[in-house]
Each structure stands twice: as structure tokens, then as C-alpha cells.
Structure 1
């Protein structure tokens, strides 16, 4: 299991990831625009060019990021992301994190993961649980 920072931006996530790759002597490992997502139900004319997901790898870590549809401007916040290999373990972690909080995307299989869900815990901290 690994804990990764997941940064939220309002339109400039790809630019930020390229900056972090340069500064941290890393590389941009992925960039996917909203328009490139297999599920087009989230895509609008306003968010087509926004970053749905991207990440940078560097010695000792990773930074993940996306743009938040409906948000404008720069940096918006951090989401804590847990990556684990076992979907059953991921679901159990997700359920415990969501207890007393709010589920924003129910834990389920997606096109990129065997299990994924987002929630805000009872303290207001946003989480992603991703099981590949």
C-alpha cells in the first residue's frame, strides 16, 4: 500500500505536472485530458481540454493531479490517494474512511482500476482509494 498526494487544479494541472517533473528531475508518466476519457458522460465543451488525470514520477515518489471541472484558476487543494493491489482490502479501507463522512464516488471497478472510490472523511479530508 502507498499513500500519494493528489493535487487538484482549476485548469493548469498539466502545466504544473511538467513543472514538477523538471524541478524534481522526474518525468511526466501520464496525462489524460477529459476529452480522452472512455466515459464521455463527464465531458463538456467547458472541460474537454482539462486534465482528467496525470502523474509525475521521480526518485522516491509520485505526484498525481487533475483539474476540477467547474473550477477556474490555479491550485485547489490536495486529495490523499491510497494505492493498493487488493480490491477487497481497498474496499474495506474505503468503507472505514467514508464512515461518518461523504462518499463522492462509490467504490467500484473502473476502466483504469480493479477498484476505485472517492470520499471525504468525517474531518473534511478528501480521499481516493485506487486498486490496480
Structure 2
């Protein structure tokens, strides 16, 4: 069994996944627009270029997402995507990049459990936790 995070966007999934690939060092895998899908005739012309499914590959892990049509879109609440990083400098770099044009909820800092930990909501509305454990 595998668990995947699946992010929903309000029309900006392609921009978000391009940004995440750049920041996290991943690559875009599968990507399909509504216009390329069998349901192309069920969405407005404006939505045919929006992403029905996208995959970001990060080593042996995947992050997935899509643009939810307006009647189904809901902002993320009560969840976050956790990034576990082994290097303090890398954790700080990822945090600062994701925080660009977003909202920092807790600045990245040393805590009693981590060498660095921070919380933010990025410019696309995705809540992130960035954690770098203390050395063993």
C-alpha cells in the first residue's frame, strides 16, 4: 500500500506544479488537461486548458494534483504537506522558496524536536510543514 498527497487547485495547478518541481527538484510526470480527457465536452472552453490530473515525481515519491472545477473546489483546511529534510540549509532554502508570495504561519526555526521546523501556506493555497530532524 502507498499513500499519496493529492492537492486541489482553483485553476492554477499547472503553475503550482511547475513551481514545486523547481523548488523541490522534481519532474513533472503524467499531466492531462480537461480538454485532453474524455470529459472535454462537459467543461467550459475556459476549463479545457486546466489540469485534470498532474503528477510530480520526487525520486521514488509522488505528489499529485488537479484543478477542481468551481463547483467542487474547496480550500485546504486541517491538512498540510510535510517535507522532511535531512539538511538544515536545504530545509531553510525550501521553506523560503515555498514562502515566496505566501503566508508564513511559523517561521522556520529550531524547536525542541527539530533542528529546523516551519509552517506556511504557499502562494497557491497549499499548507506546508518543513521539518529537519536533529542529528541522532
Q: TM-score, normalised by structure 2?
A: 0.49
- Name the structure 2 match of 1:42: 42
- Name the structure 2 match of 1:77: 76
- Name the structure 1 match of 2:27: 27
- Name the structure 2 match of 1:8: 8
The answer to which structure has the higher strand fraction is: 1
Higher-Rg structure is 2
Instruction: Check conservation: 2:40, 2:48, Cα contact below 8 A.
Output: no
Please list, as runs of the form range in 1=range in 2, the aligned pairs for 1:88-103 lying within 5 A after superposition.
none
- What secondary structure sits across from 2:57 in the alignment? strand
Which runs of 5 or more residues in structure 1 are unaligned?
80-132
- What secondary structure sits across from 1:23 in the alignment? helix
CA RMSD of aligned residues (A): 2.5
Q: How many residues align?
A: 77
- Name the structure 1 match of 2:67: 67
Q: How big is the shift at 1:41?
A: 4.4
Which runs of 5 or more residues in structure 2 are unaligned?
80-136
- Name the structure 1 match of 2:51: 51
Greater CA deviation, 58-67 or 39-48? Answer: 39-48
Q: Deviations over 1:70-93 (max 9, x none)?
A: 26x9x83389xxxxxxxxxxxxxx
With a CA cutoff of 8 Å and minimum separation of 6, indicate the structure with the bigger relative contact order: 1
Instruction: Check conservation: 2:29, 2:55, Cα contact below 8 A.
Output: yes
Q: Structure 1 41/77 Cα, relative in aligned 2: closer, same or farther at 3 Å? A: farther
Q: TM-score, normalised by structure 1?
A: 0.51
Q: How big is the shift at 1:16?
A: 0.6
- What secondary structure sits across from 2:3 in the alignment? strand
